[in-house]
Amino acid sequence: MSGWAATPGARNPLTCVYQLWLANRPGSHQGPGNALVSSSTLPRPRIESVRASAGATGGAGFGVRRPLDQHSRGLMVPGVPGDSFGAAADDYVRYRKGFPPETLDRLAEHEIGTPGQRILDLGCGTGTIARQLAARGCTAVGLDVDHRMLQAAQGMAEADGVGVDWVEAPAESTGLEAGTFDAVVAGQSWHWFDQEDAMAEVGRLLVAGGRLAVCGFDWLPLPDTVPGATEALIEVHNPAWDLGGIRNYEPTLRPLLDRTGFTVQVTFRFDMDVVYDQLAWRRRIAASAGIVNLSPDEAAAFDRDLVQMLDERFPGDEVHTPHRVWGIVATSPGS
């Protein structure tokens, strides 16, 4: 597959304006816990702040973080809560490449992303999946715990000319109306969730026989590659970070799907070369989990070492980074 260039953008979406819609606005839906999500038929993308009570959905509730040892994650991420990434929202917008369109093509082959479907992008970040779904004719809702990422997502959606509803809430306790989504997609986000609670919430939100897709877009830390050398450097500067290596969700996700009555329909993966310039790669890494929670001085020290490593081992204007896209698609009970 040909290389895919990550080009810095010029816009600054962080100047977007929040709009909270009133409960009696025409077209709004009342969800559990008195949470609201406005209808996506309204003319502009919105950001809704949802603070759902734990009792409404069985989740943790907005802003509540379980101690790390209580998370039933397949991957442990010390010291990086899901709402840390908003501090790097501008770098996400300018430098971090989202899911390639081929990912959406694969999902469409398995009945996710067809025009008219109502789809939730869970842990959406800057909305890389939600925006592409909206462009394909879906009614898309993007949900994240960090309002700064949603603000960036709204700016990008406006620049793309697509309408998406944005909801600020945790994946485990969304406050959204039960049985309203044909599909839920978690792209590059599932490892941040409480697995059991998130799966219960997904089951509640989907229509009978609805589809869940858990997807990833990961660099491949192969020997003698930029990602491999970068990852080794991250581990030196942040020994607590343990998201290295080639990820495999199946050993933990398949048993969870089986226990909750979901049926795996397909798994897929494909590899590609993603091309950055050096600055874009540096800023993309600065916005990653291994660096975003370091102190400014620690992050600056890492960046200096990264520049030195790139100059010595991978000189030139282009930085080639092997990546892998993978996905697991399952149907909810009742199909």
pLDDT tens per residue across span 158-197: 999 999 999 999 999 999 999 999 999 999 999 889 999 9
Tokens of 71: 């998370």
Q: For residue 1, tell me if it sits in a domain.
A: no
Question: What does the pLDDT average to over 89-112?
Answer: 84
Dist CA 179 CA 334 (whole Å): 12
Give the CATH number, domain containing residue 303: 3.40.50.150
Q: What's the pLDDT at 69?
A: 28
Query: Which residues, in sequence order, are bridge partners of residue 206?
Result: 181
Helix axes 296-313 and 226-237, enclosed angle (nearest 10): 150
CA atoms within 13 A on the CB side of 20: 7
Tokens of 317: 């204007």
Dist CA 217 CA 320 (whole Å): 15
Q: For residue 3, tell me if it sits in a domain.
A: no
Q: For residue 105, tell me if it sits in a domain.
A: yes
Q: For residue 19, tell me if it sits in a domain.
A: yes
Q: For residue 147, tell me if it sits in a domain.
A: yes
**How many structural domains does the chain have?**
1
Tell me the pLDDT band of 287, cut-offs 50, 70 and 90.
confident
Predicted confidence (pLDDT) per residue in 207-259, tens digit? 999 999 999 999 999 999 999 999 999 999 999 888 788 878 888 899 999 99
Full residue range of the structural domain in which residue 205 is found: 9-331
Q: For residue 4, tell me if it sits in a domain.
A: no
Q: For residue 65, tell me if it sits in a domain.
A: yes
Say whether pTM exceeds 0.85: no
The answer to whether the CB of 154 falls within 8 A of the CB of 47 is yes
